[in-house]
A = this chain, B = another copy of it.
């Protein structure tokens, strides 16, 4: 089983944030990781797109029970019916998590990751949270991930 990196972040975002997420997805694939996320829009979709364009593999753990919630760049969608509780599974199914901006849902994923021993790197909004490793951009985030979990 390949190692997986979880991408978390804003469900809705502008082109600047999308570009960061896309770059992150590209790097995840290029470094030989599978990408894991919540399977939906915004940062999740941009990261999946980046991974797929670089030949990677993507898994999306959806909050509801409807497969059509998945964005078109998810290879393996899994419905959970857990609502916000699926946030735990998004981080726990990866070896490390990278947050790109995001709101309260992303904050919950950061807390759940740290609580269950998954290291967290954050770009933007939540990078100052106690226990989180801050990165300026996707490339630095990937460097930190590689230093934490290897290839």
Binding site for B on A (CB under 8 A): 1, 59, 61, 65, 67, 70, 76-85, 87-89, 92-93, 103-116, 125, 129-131
- How far in angstroms is the closest Cβ of chain B from A97? 12
Task: Specify how many copies of this chain sit in the oligomer.
Answer: 4
Given A67-B1, A81-B88, are A105 and B110 also a contact pair (CB < 8 Å)? Answer: no
Q: B residues within 8 A CB of A106?
A: 111
Closest residue of chain B to A64 (Cβ to Cβ) is B83
Given A78-B93, A81-B82, A92-B81, CB of A111 within 8 Å of CB of B114: no
Q: How far does the Cβ of A38 sit from chain B's closest Cβ, in whole Å?
A: 12
**CB <8 Å contact, A78 and B61:** yes
Knowing A78-B78, A85-B81, say if A115 contacts B103 (CB, 8 Å).
yes
Bound together, the chains give a CA A79 to CA B94 distance in angstroms of 10
- Say yes or no: A65 contacts B83, CB within 8 Å: yes
Other-chain residue from B78, B85, B115, B125 in contact with A104 (beta carbon distance below 8 A): B115
B81 and A89 within 8 A (CB):
yes
Q: Report the minimum CB–CB distance from A113 to chain B (whole Å).
A: 8
A selection of 14 A-B contacts at a CB cut-off of 8 Å is: A1-B67, A1-B70, A1-B77, A59-B76, A59-B78, A78-B93, A81-B85, A82-B82, A82-B85, A84-B116, A85-B88, A103-B115, A109-B111, A111-B111
